[in-house]
Structure 1
């Protein structure tokens, strides 16, 4: 400690006069207050006790730099002009790393002095006291003046007592803050688990991203899952601007991916400049962490939580709580997955039961009814009765075939369902061939499977099924032609997929397009921004249905 300067406060008599101020300050900072307010009170009390025009408290963060930095006597404008915080080197750095106080009459003569940054006030005398919390270094409280010999040993004693009391109060405040923060994360984790297991969530991964962003106070949250190429890909993102985030990948074989697959969290001080990340979307982010979503050795994916460039680093406590959140989220996702599997299994069991009932009961009764009608038809004497019974038998045959098609669909599992639109179209035409008595012709134009989205494909199949059913039941057709064109262009120039079903039957009676089935075709097209047209066949006979929706 440097030598004492000349006294300005009158020695021990002045010390006794200032003890009530010290006691008041100790009472003020010992109350149950939040940490920022507490630090402000400590700095204000130190300045009042010593009469120092400049006072500050610098706290060391988890990385060893200055985190909290509270000042008195320096305006916001001057702080903005100064720019960087002190403590990276020089006198303040030595004070942060030491248990020994400083009392200097002229800090500029100390060999550890490294100069003032531009726009900094020209200070000379310095009083500095380490602040320890639970006997661990927390930071330093220091006071400065523009004059020489501004501080005395009495000032030093008062500030040391204040710093000791401040350490106790800061420890209590940090403990309270840690408990409250942990409770917030626990509540958020419980809320996430409830949401995922309630059955009301359509996209569990999006819920994980939303909750994680809120709890971590990050600027974005992204959930990555293993991709087909062996890496990981962002499939859910939560941010004010998600541009460029969806589809971002971690390359297979990268060191980052290896750490995540091994269950290790990865932390970045500045993801924008880190060589492990080369994606353009990371340029807007700074401090970040990527946490594995894994359970029992199974890698479900990863959770990325970046903050904006220049934002504060994630503390050790935040990192630990976020990692625990990721572990609990992985468990909740697996439970949600298991719940969905059980529900799906129940659906398949119910579908199997319905299929058996249709086959064993309904179809058998329809067969029996058909045989009775066959007998009645042979016994009928009147031609009109004979004809009507024959139509009834045909309707029963068509109904039986439709029920068989429904049974086939009910008995299919998800792995058996055709994935391509081309295959689904062929299956529909193959099914109706039994009712028509011949196989409809089918043509495809363009990359049908690749260009047509699922929503358009699903509605196209429904429209095809209704058009084929109409041709089988009512047209008396001897030929049906089906065409699917994925290269169609609408009048406004937009790309479209066009379904054409034409037959050579009796044609569509006037007003028949208002029948519920054909009306549904039009509703499906309009719901996707498309159109449907009904007209005669190419040679003037039969019916043509043209169903078209944009891609």
Structure 2
């Protein structure tokens, strides 16, 4: 790669940080630029998840989608992956297998030789790490290390920006909740109060003045329609912010992490494939279904563990929520809501539940 191509690749990585893209897209751009600039066969970037011991983000370049699926679940924080998440110094090796902390790789994992790892550092915090392997033209050099340090700096900016965005989004959510509460109180609540008074008046008039009672019932119907319209105008467009901005897998990850922190049950998420973006309606249906199933498991089933799985099979995306609780109650309104959501997007909902053996709720959404 000549100097002009190097500058272009570096520029694309820098511009990605300031562009209005998702964090994952920015990190993918940085990883791809690192692999091209350093002429490596494989590159990856990992952001650790302190709660699970795995990775909140792990993006790769140089591995096909089919090969990535064969490799299996995301790696854990072990071996050399962990070294670079604990120690703020880069690591350059002529043979990764000779390092004392080298452990193993899965069956379908590519075989690695020379290696260059760079922590992504902000102040005293290690936010993640960049990993490159199998340089095509000799060994990784000091110039390679210096260039990767620059890219790691841009990755740090992207991750810090993501944290700031998340905090601002949380504040926006609180402000939106306050706004909705005010609108509900100022408009819908007043309509419902008038509706109740009109029903009381119609009830009192039914026996002695049917004509006036009929007139009051017409008022009731008009007020109910107005309340319904106002509720719809308040709620419409309130798509879950995480799903809209970052995708279904990222939104579920945040939901699961929050529920795991606030409930006694252990709540986990396993994403076994790269998750494609679906239509907004399909993503919303899958997210809402998962929320409802999680709610049932945590509030009604006395489950000790709840597992969410997200994966692709054939031509469908599958969201599966399983628990080891007491099973669903005989009449569950949440199931009706979930089935309606599935039907609305052409999906298929399968529920398996037996008293004492737990429940599995599985939604298949066409890709």
TM-score, normalising length from structure 1?
0.41
- Quote the offset at 1:480 in angstroms: 7.6
Choose the corresponding residue for 1:275, options 100, 105, 122. Answer: 100
Q: How far, CA to CA, are the matches of 1:385 and 1:266 in structure 2?
A: 86
Q: Label 1:448 to 1:246 Cα distance change in 2 as closer, same or farther (>3 A).
A: closer
Deviations for 1:370-395, whole angstroms, at most 9, x for unmatched residues?
21342243134355975896798699
Identify the residue that residue 154 of structure 2 maps to in structure 1: 328
Asked if 1 retains the 8 angstrom alpha-carbon contact of 2:96 and 2:112, the reply is: yes
Identify the residue that residue 313 of structure 1 maps to in structure 2: 139
Identify the residue that residue 205 of structure 2 maps to in structure 1: 379
What are the within-5 Å matches in structure 2 for residues 321-360 of structure 1? 321-360=147-186
Q: How far, CA to CA, are the matches of 1:371 and 1:456 in structure 2?
A: 48
Q: Label 1:333 to 1:256 Cα distance change in 2 as closer, same or farther (>3 A).
A: closer
Secondary structure in structure 1 of the residue aligned to 2:114: strand
Asked if 2 retains the 8 angstrom alpha-carbon contact of 1:286 and 1:311, the reply is: no
Aligned residues: 285
Identify the residue that residue 11 of structure 2 maps to in structure 1: 187
Identify the residue that residue 226 of structure 1 maps to in structure 2: 48
- Quote the offset at 1:235 in angstroms: 2.1
- Quote the offset at 1:307 in angstroms: 1.5
Identify the residue that residue 344 of structure 2 maps to in structure 1: 523
Choose the corresponding residue for 2:127, options 276, 279, 300. Answer: 300
Identify the residue that residue 249 of structure 1 maps to in structure 2: 76
Q: Label 1:262 to 1:285 Cα distance change in 2 as closer, same or farther (>3 A).
A: closer
Q: Label 1:519 to 1:296 Cα distance change in 2 as closer, same or farther (>3 A).
A: closer
Q: Label 1:292 to 1:378 Cα distance change in 2 as closer, same or farther (>3 A).
A: same
- Quote the offset at 1:285 in angstroms: 1.3
Q: Label 1:267 to 1:231 Cα distance change in 2 as closer, same or farther (>3 A).
A: farther
Choose the corresponding residue for 1:235, options 55, 58, 62. Answer: 58
- Quote the offset at 1:287 in angstroms: 1.4
Identify the residue that residue 425 of structure 1 maps to in structure 2: 296
What are the within-5 Å matches in structure 2 for residues 5-24 of structure 1? none
Secondary structure in structure 1 of the residue aligned to 2:102: coil
1:215 aligns with 2:65: no
Identify the residue that residue 363 of structure 1 maps to in structure 2: 189
Deviations for 1:62-83, whole angstroms, at most 9, x for unmatched residues?
xxxxxxxxxxxxxxxxxxxxxx
1:263 aligns with 2:120: no
Identify the residue that residue 206 of structure 1 maps to in structure 2: 28
Using the TM superposition, name which of 358-367 and 233-242 deviates more: 233-242
Secondary structure in structure 2 of the residue aligned to 1:284: coil
Higher gyration radius (CA): 1
- Quote the offset at 1:208 in angstroms: 3.1
Unmatched tracts of structure 2, length 5 or more = 240-253, 268-290, 312-316, 322-328, 352-360
Q: How far, CA to CA, are the matches of 1:276 and 1:426 in structure 2?
A: 40
Q: Label 1:355 to 1:199 Cα distance change in 2 as closer, same or farther (>3 A).
A: farther
Q: How far, CA to CA, are the matches of 2:212 and 2:341 in structure 1?
A: 34
Q: Label 1:376 to 1:422 Cα distance change in 2 as closer, same or farther (>3 A).
A: same
Deviations for 1:26-52, whole angstroms, at most 9, x for unmatched residues?
xxxxxxxx9xxxxxxxxxxxxxxxxxx
Q: How far, CA to CA, are the matches of 2:105 and 2:99 in structure 1?
A: 12
Unmatched tracts of structure 1, length 5 or more = 1-33, 35-176, 431-441, 460-478, 485-498, 502-516, 533-546
Deviations for 1:355-409, whole angstroms, at most 9, x for unmatched residues?
2211233212321232134224313435597589679869959x79x96xx99x9
Measured on the aligned residues, the alpha-carbon RMSD in Å equals: 5.0
- Quote the offset at 1:276 in angstroms: 2.4
Q: Label 1:391 to 1:209 Cα distance change in 2 as closer, same or farther (>3 A).
A: farther
- Quote the offset at 1:319 in angstroms: 1.2
Q: How far, CA to CA, are the matches of 2:52 and 2:364 in structure 1?
A: 34
Asked if 1 retains the 8 angstrom alpha-carbon contact of 2:35 and 2:42, the reply is: yes
Q: Label 1:275 to 1:182 Cα distance change in 2 as closer, same or farther (>3 A).
A: same
Identify the residue that residue 481 of structure 1 maps to in structure 2: 331
1:285 aligns with 2:112: yes
Identify the residue that residue 306 of structure 2 maps to in structure 1: 449
Q: How far, CA to CA, are the matches of 2:362 and 2:179 in structure 1?
A: 37
Secondary structure in structure 2 of the residue aligned to 1:300: strand
Asked if 1 retains the 8 angstrom alpha-carbon contact of 2:199 and 2:220, the reply is: yes
Q: How far, CA to CA, are the matches of 2:72 and 2:145 in structure 1?
A: 22
Asked if 2 retains the 8 angstrom alpha-carbon contact of 1:182 and 1:321, the reply is: no
- Quote the offset at 1:550 in angstroms: 5.4
